[in-house]
Structures are given as structure tokens and as C-alpha cells.
Amino acid sequence: MLGLGAFRKKQWGTESIPDLTGRVAIVTGGNTGLGYITVRELARKGAHVYMFSRTESRALAAIEKIKKELGPEVEPKLDYVNFDLQKLSSAKQAASEFLKREHRLDILVNNAATMGIPYELSSDGIELQACNGTGHFALTSLLLPLMKETAAKPDSHVRIVNVSSGLYEAAGSPDFSSLEGLNQKSWSSWGRYAQSKLANILFTNELQKRLEESGCKNIYCLSIHPGMVATEITRGPLQSWPILSPIEPIAMLFAKTPLQGALTQLYAATSPEVEEKGLKSALLFPIAQPQAKKPLAEDKDGKLGAQYWKLCEKLVAEKA
């Protein structure tokens, strides 16, 4: 007699990633946590992966660690490009460096982020957590022409994956009409983080819409929520609330491992099901499950997404 387990759908895993030989990928914040796993697994399947990270020494050490983990049977193609999410000029420099080296880009995983940190402005005058959105907007917009060229080639499967968070629901009533609105202080650092994660989803929606309107219908843009994961990103909340330090190790016992947390973005970046199921501008929750967006993120009239896009364009023009 068959048990209930026989009827359960097998959970998607890294073994389901197709052969990526010949494809080129970028992962931001790839030297640790979810980004590290994403870089490693894309490289394992044959992709040429560029690790976009702020600190060269940490990135190069991570690349060497990945090579050791993959072993002699795999010859990974891995490169480092300097990218500071909190400087719009860095996005321009990173994109320029990449475009000098490559003639295609199949996968862009906008993974880097800060979470729950105390209020502070970047050198561009942008609240640091808001840079989770503005920095990736700048980088993606500069790389988009190459991604469109790649999408026009035979057997292309171009993906743009923005790592968001289920905490976007706590964004309240964001104001993306101006830099002052973007930078406003909320009741806590969590509110600012939530706003940045909402921005990631709105950017995904608006980008997919604009691609469709331009006639580019074979680039798939997705937002994902990895779940609560035991990574270095917890440093931010501990800066804001040191009182949480004794609790943090206990909370991490219930968190996903980085590998578990990275599965949803790896699915979004590589799975043929994304195209088979038509998951354009989809929001995925763990593991690889489409989730209905709350009204603020659904943005049915498109006004909030268009407002955010216009503000990001202005900031890039002024500061990049």
C-alpha cells in the first residue's frame, strides 16, 4: 500500500539545474551566504559566473573556496568584478568592466543587500537600505542592452532575478516621488528594509512590463523571497538592536541553511519551468512556489512602480 509520501511532489533541488555550458551569469554579493551558494551551483553546471562584490580579498577567497568545494572533476569559470551596491558610480564602473569582457549575459541575480541597519546615508545621499533597490536598478539598466542581445540569440533563456523578502508587506505607505521621500525615517530600521524589498518587487514588475512593451518577450524577470536564512545579513539587526545578541543563535537554529535559502533564486535563474509556466514578474516563496502579491506589490495601476522607476532614473543620471 502506498504511503502519503508517494503522492508528494519532489522538492526542487540543485540536481534539477540544467546544463549551463556557454551561458554567462552575474551574481551580486556573491562572496557569502545565498550569493555564494548561487555562484557555486551555477558554476557547477558550467556557467561562466562573475562574482560582483565590494571587497576584492573576500571575493577572491570565496572563489578559491568554491574551486576546492567543486573538486578537480569540475573546472569552474569564475571571475570577480568590483561592485559596491551603495554607490551608483560603482554600478556604472562594474557594468563597463563586464561589458569589456563579455558579449552575452544570460543570468543576472541581484542578490546583494543590507538588512535592518541603523539609519545612515550613502555617499550619494541615499539611505543605505534603499540602496538595495537603487543600486540594482542602476546595474540592471546598464546591462539590459546586452541581455536583450542575448535573448535574441538561438536557444537563449535570459533571466533577471531580484532577491526580495516577505517582509515587503511591512512597507507601510512608501513615497517614491523624491529622494526625500525615499530617505524618510520610519518607525524602525525594519520599515526601511521592508520598503527596499517592496522596491525590488516593483522594479521587477515595471521592468517586465517595459520589456514586453518594447517587444522583448523572452526575458523573464522574477522576484523571490528566500525565507529566514542563517547568513551574515543578520549583522544589521544586531547593530540596530544589540539586545538581540543572546537570542540570535537560538533563532538561527530554526533558519534555513544557505543552500536551502538559495534554492528559490537558483530555480528562478535556471529552471525550464519558469518559461513553461509563464512566470513573468512572478514572486516566488520557498521553495520555488509562486505567491500572490499583496496589493501594494501587485501595483495594478502601475503608478507606484512607474514612480519608483522615474526616481531611480533621476538618481542614476545625477549621481552615476
Element (H, E) at 80: strand 77-82
Within 8 A by CB and 6+ apart from 304, the residues are 174, 176, 202, 296
Q: Which of 45, 87, 197, 256 is catalytic?
A: 197
Q: Do residues 47 and 23 touch, judged by C-beta distance below 8 A?
A: yes
Which amino acid is present at 185?
A: K
Strands of the 219-224 sheet, one edge to the other? 77-82, 48-53, 24-28, 107-110, 158-163, 219-224, 282-285, 289-290
168 is catalytic: no
197 is catalytic: yes
Within 8 A by CB and 6+ apart from 66, the residues are 36, 39, 40, 43, 76, 78
Q: Which of 36, 50, 193, 308 is catalytic?
A: 193
Taking CA atoms, 207 is separated from 115, 200, 201, in Å, by 24, 10, 10
Q: How many CB atoms lie within 10 A of CB 81?
A: 20
Chain position carrying cell 542592452: 145
Q: Three cell numbers at 4?
A: 502519503
Query: Three-class SS of residue 187?
Result: coil
Q: Catalytic residue positions?
A: 193, 197
